């Protein structure tokens, strides 16, 4: 099924339930349930929701790190059964290998997939330039700031030129200023990466303005077990920069989504009554 603009479906999620079985009691705990939506080619999707709503669990399942209990989870029409070369993940934590230089960390994915040939090395060099790490190729992770580390993290994920880019709260651990800068950098990089300009991305965050600023569409999850509450298209023009955040459209949509998210966590119930 194509969307209004005629873009083909990239990720098809229908009736998905993910959870785990308690080892002692044997009872099943669902982290997400009855989940259904579609993501189209070149879309930048952000998922927001109250903490513990299973958004990271869902992302892990898309990455192939967790099995789904039932439902269908299909990428390009094929079910996801495990990690594969067509997806890569930007981790929340500092997951860089401390014994590798910046360049070697970025090259890791290509190396693991035996694609580090001349073209691969050129790709690594281009990405270092693109994410603003020129001159830092030879540094080790302990010499990098939080923002720098996440640039490497992002470049490492982009290096394998994935079909679907997964981002798990990549800026959550950064300070406010660095986060602002990184949000802008991410939109710039996402639009500029020539190997797949505007590749399909799935971004998990608990920061609503961040989601509105980055995404083409924001999906709101309910509190545990996570269900899709609403899919909100963000029609702010691209390319976006800091000024967008001061526009009335941005503020309206942020306010609307914040209200929706807080309703899920039960924080705004008293306002309603």
Please state the closest distance from residue 89 (CB atom) to other proteins, in A. 5
Q: Residue 139's closest CA among 110, 104, 183, 113?
A: 104
Contact between 155 and 131 (Cβ < 8 Å): yes
Q: Which residues bind other proteins (CB under 8 A)?
A: 63-65, 83-85, 87-89, 91, 93, 95, 97-99, 108-109, 111-113, 140-143, 160, 177
Q: How far is CA 54 from the centre of its chain?
A: 14
CB nearer to other proteins: pick between 56 and 264: 56
Please state the closest distance from residue 108 (CB atom) to other proteins, in A. 6
Please state the closest distance from residue 57 (CB atom) to other proteins, in A. 14
CB nearer to other proteins: pick between 15 and 143: 143
The whole-angstrom separation of Cα 120 and Cα 204 is: 28
Please state the closest distance from residue 91 (CB atom) to other proteins, in A. 7
CB nearer to other proteins: pick between 75 and 234: 75
CB nearer to other proteins: pick between 65 and 267: 65
């Amino acid at each position: 099924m194509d969307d209004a603009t005629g873009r083909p479906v990239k990720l098809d999620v229908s009736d998905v339930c993910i959870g785990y079985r308690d080892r002692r009691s044997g009872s099943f705990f669902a982290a997400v349930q009855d989940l259904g939506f579609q993501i189209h080619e070149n879309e930048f999707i952000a998922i927001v929701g109250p903490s513990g709503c299973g958004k990271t669990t869902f992302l892990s399942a898309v990455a192939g790190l967790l099995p789904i209990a039932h439902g269908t989870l299909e990428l390009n029409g094929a079910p996801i059964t495990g990690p594969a070369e067509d997806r890569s993940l930007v981790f929340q934590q500092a997951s860089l290998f401390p014994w590798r230089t910046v360049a070697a960390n970025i090259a890791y994915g290509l190396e693991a997939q035996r694609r580090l040939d001349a073209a691969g090395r050129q790709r690594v060099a281009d990405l270092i330039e693109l994410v603003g790490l020129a001159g830092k190729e030879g540094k080790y992770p302990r010499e990098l700031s939080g923002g720098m580390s996440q640039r490497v993290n992002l470049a490492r994920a982009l290096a394998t030129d994935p079909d679907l880019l997964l981002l798990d709260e990549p800026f959550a651990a950064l300070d406010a200023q660095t986060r602002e800068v990184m949000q802008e950098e991410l939109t710039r990089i996402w639009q500029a990466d020539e190997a797949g300009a505007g590749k399909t991305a799935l971004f998990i965050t608990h920061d609503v303005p961040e989601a509105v600023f980055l995404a083409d569409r924001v999906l709101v999850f309910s509190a545990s077990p996570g269900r899709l509450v609403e899919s909100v298209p963000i029609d702010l023009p691209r390319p976006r920069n800091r000024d967008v955040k001061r526009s009335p459209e941005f503020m309206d949509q942020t306010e609307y989504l914040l209200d929706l998210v807080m309703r899920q966590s039960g924080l705004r119930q008293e306002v309603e009554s």
